[in-house]
Amino acid sequence: MMTQAYYTGISGLKTTSNGIDILSDNLANANTVGFKGTSYEFASLFEQSISTANTNTTDNTIGLGSRLQATTMMDTTGNSMLTDKSTDLAIYDDGWFGVASGKDTYYTRNGAFSFDANNDLVTDDGAYVLGTMGGNISGNILTKQLGDVPLGETSTQTKLTFPKELNFPVDPTTESKFEGNLSTENEVRTMSATVIDGQNNKNDLRLEFTKADPQPETGIKWNVTATTKSLDGETIYDTKTGVVEFSEAGALKSSTLTTIDNNGTQVKIDLGSGFSGVVSIANVPVTADSTSNGKMGGELAGYDINQNGEVVATFTNGAQSSVGQIAVYHFQNDQGLDRVTGTKFKQSENSGKPVFFKDAQGQNVIGTDIANYRLEGSNIDMTYSLTEMIVLQRSYESNSKVVTTADEMIQKALDMDA
């Protein structure tokens, strides 16, 4: 019996010591971003049946020691913390970020990401964040402006790497639309539009209207001269002339002015039709307006991540384009993941393979809510952990006393035998 007490106390010391170690690690990482705590389960090492005359007894066994039966990941979500970086991400619901280090793939809730010197999206310890590239970058040129990047299959996810220098190509003007009222007085009228050429220059397209002489018997006729030139007026690229005719009511009937060259790019001149566009109506104020398509080229201003997990490139011309999509993985059994560190886990047979959620159209989606400018904190409850620490320390002291008492009893028994 004394020997039983001795070994029961020793097993209790080992068990509570394991629990204290687990709690200590949890408490030490209470401020670690994305940390998932570990919980523990204790069980009896052996059990011995005892006889009792009380038929209402629910348990007729007595434990002969204890052991640490299992440790499991605490799967609660940590508190959300506000940051000042758009590359900081927090997952609000189910899901894991995927990161690659060497040939290994890990899964984490720590979304403290940043762009390194090579503009690779990485974690704070240098692992590469996994996702789907937009495929709209060739060299240092953005080939297509995308509103979003569809998430690929789990097997196709790769590290998100982007060029340090990226140019938004110029989209030269191919059409300019004019509208306004020339009135009917015999005065020179002008309209102008800003047009972009293929060399990423802003130029001026100017229309000058003069009343024709003689005028037709019905309606109104204007001669028009179109000129494209640099904004400083020093270089003229092209000059075209034409005739514009209006009905008696002032509606546009026809125009012989069609296109003009803008430093190598043909620009269609659209004056409208009827009362839509340019008109010539008496006793109505003279107006002039224009719109042109095309967009100036720009250089990369920086990369950001939005709340959908998309990597967005912003350019000096104000344009934006998605260039990548961060992957969010899901598992059938999150607690089956193998713990590598407090924030990194690996796939296991118990967790199952990582999968992506799908929408109603069968397209892969991240399947959770992501917030940028935020990080998920540790999921450790300080109050609970400190209380448990006190309980385990008391248990450790009790088991230590059991061992000491059993040792004293054995020593006395040996002395009596002598």
| Cα Rg of the chain (Å, integer) | 38
What was the pLDDT predicted at 46?
63
Q: Which residues of 48-85 are buried (b: 16+ CB within 10 A; e: fewer)?
A: eeeeeeeeeeeeeeeeebbebeeeebbeeebeeeebee
pLDDT tens by residue, the chain, 418 residues: 556 666 677 777 888 888 888 888 889 889 889 999 888 777 777 655 555 555 555 555 556 677 777 778 888 889 899 999 989 999 988 999 999 999 999 999 999 999 998 889 999 999 999 999 999 999 999 999 999 999 999 999 999 999 999 999 999 999 999 999 999 999 999 999 999 999 999 999 999 999 999 999 999 999 999 999 999 999 999 999 999 999 999 999 999 999 999 999 999 999 999 999 999 999 999 999 999 999 999 999 999 999 889 999 999 999 999 999 999 999 999 999 999 998 999 999 999 999 999 999 999 999 998 999 999 999 888 888 888 888 888 887 877 787 777 767 777 767 775 5
Cis amide bond preceding 214, omega within 30:
yes
How many angstroms separate the Cα of 173 from the Cα of each of 166, 260, 294? Answer: 22, 11, 4
For residues 63 and 44, give the distance between their C-alpha atoms in angstroms, rounded to a whole number.
6
For residues 9 and 400, give the distance between their C-alpha atoms in angstroms, rounded to a whole number.
7
What was the pLDDT predicted at 144?
94
What was the pLDDT predicted at 64?
67
Angle at 134 between CA 328 and CA 108, to 5 degrees: 20
For residues 168 and 297, give the distance between their C-alpha atoms in angstroms, rounded to a whole number.
5
Instruction: Please tell me the class of the 175-292 domain.
Output: mainly beta
Six-digit token string for 94: 């189910």
Q: Which residue intervals of the chain bear CATH 2.60.98.20?
A: 175-292
Question: 227 in helix, strand or coil?
Answer: strand
Strand partners, 302: 314
The kind and range of the H/E element at 23 are: helix 2-28
Six-digit token string for 258: 């069609």
Six-digit token string for 346: 């690996």
Under 8 Å between Cβ of 167 and 140: yes
What was the pLDDT predicted at 67?
74
For residues 250 and 189, give the distance between their C-alpha atoms in angstroms, rounded to a whole number.
15
Strand partners, 272: 277
Under 8 Å between Cβ of 110 and 343: yes
Q: How many CA atoms lie within 13 A of 130 on its CB side?
A: 25
For residues 172 and 8, give the distance between their C-alpha atoms in angstroms, rounded to a whole number.
85
If you search the block for the tokens 């028009």, which residue do you land on? Answer: 224
Burial of 118 (0-12, 13-18, 19+ CB in 10 A): exposed
For residues 407 and 401, give the distance between their C-alpha atoms in angstroms, rounded to a whole number.
10
Six-digit token string for 125: 């310890």
Under 8 Å between Cβ of 97 and 159: no
